[in-house]
Structure 1
Amino acid sequence: MAAYIIVEVDVHNPKEYEDYKKLTTASLSGYNGKFIVRGGATETLEGGWQAKRIVVLEFPNKELAKQWWSSEEYAPAKALRQKNATTKMILVEGV
């Protein structure tokens, strides 16, 4: 069953965040992950959610998604993100 990592990101340092984006892309291939949404324009349809940046990644299953998130390949990118942005991240199984 497909799994999705859904992320809301508030970037504090756009210059260094660009490095994060490059590293993240390279780290996904070994886990069959791909971007579905990567920072496109958002529009609030209900509620008070004022999202800054939304990212959605798709993986074949939740195990691969979790392996990627805790991998050595992603670790340098994760450290950059945590240093340069505030993030909310969830893992959701698809249907």
Structure 2
Amino acid sequence: MAAFVLVEVSIHDPELYESYKKLTPGSLEPFGGRFVVRGAKTESLEGDWNPERLVILEFPSVEKAKAWWSSELYSKAKDIRYRAANSKMLVVETLG
């Protein structure tokens, strides 16, 4: 079953974050991942949620998403993201 990874990002080093953005796409491909939303404008319809940056990724399964996140291929990009931004990340299985 497919899965989405939802990421809320607050960037404190925009220049360094650009390096992260360049490295990430290549790390997704071997795991069947793709961007669904990548930093597009958001508008809150309910509640107090207004992310600075929202990213949604799609993978063939939760297992593939978790394999990507913990992969050596993504580790360099992830280290950059940790230095350039604060993030919240969820993986969620789709309905089918």
Aligned partner of 2:17 in structure 1 is 17
| RMSD (CA atoms) | 0.5
Report the identity percentage. 54
CA offsets, 1:2-48, max 9 Å, x none?
00100000011111101101110111110000000000001011011
Query: Match of 2:45, as an amino acid?
Result: L
Structure 2: distance between partners of 1:28 and 1:49: 27
Query: Match of 2:94, as an amino acid?
Result: G
Q: Helix, strand or coil for the counterpart of 1:9?
A: strand
Aligned partner of 1:30 in structure 2 is 30
Q: Which stretches in structure 2 are left out of the alignment for 5+ residues? A: none
Whether 1:87 and 2:55 are equivalent positions in the alignment is no
Instruction: Give me the TM-score of the superposition, normalised by structure 2.
Output: 0.97
CA offsets, 1:34-91, max 9 Å, x none?
0000000010110111211000000000000000000000000000000110000000
Structure 2: distance between partners of 1:19 and 1:51: 21
Aligned length: 95
Q: Which stretches in structure 1 are left out of the alignment for 5+ residues? A: none
Tell me which stretches of 4 or more aligned residues in structure 1 moved more than 4 Å: none
Structure 2 matches for 1:11-90, cutoff 5 A? 11-90=11-90
Structure 1: distance between partners of 2:93 and 2:22: 26
